[in-house]
Amino acid sequence: MKLINNLRERARERMIWLYVNRERGYTLLEYCAGAAIITGILWVALNGLGTNLSTLLQRVGQWATARSTTIVAN
């Protein structure tokens, strides 16, 4: 009887261990999915910002060139 009780206890401990490890696996998968979504959002945002920033800097450069030409001409 004692042997059967020991086997049952070990089986119960094993089932708990398997459940905990399965939950850890889901948590890791959720973190990876969240990181992938955040990375995608950042990529889209930075690409859009990069295009706008490039246009802004080109316009500032054109403005500075026009002002310097005016200053030199006077």
Give pLDDT tens digits for 47-62.
888 778 888 889 999 9
Of residues 71 and 35, more confidently modeled: 35
How many domains does the chain fold into?
Answer: 1
How far from the centroid of its chain's Cα atoms is residue 60's Cα? Answer: 33
In a 3-state reduction of DSSP, which class is residue 74? coil
List the domain range (segments joined by +) for residue 3.
1-73
Tell me the CA end-to-end span of the chain in Å, nearest whole number: 108
- Give me the pLDDT at residue 72, please: 80
Length of the chain: 74
What is the Cα–Cα distance from 43 to 50, expressed in whole angstroms?
A: 10
Read off the pTM: 0.43
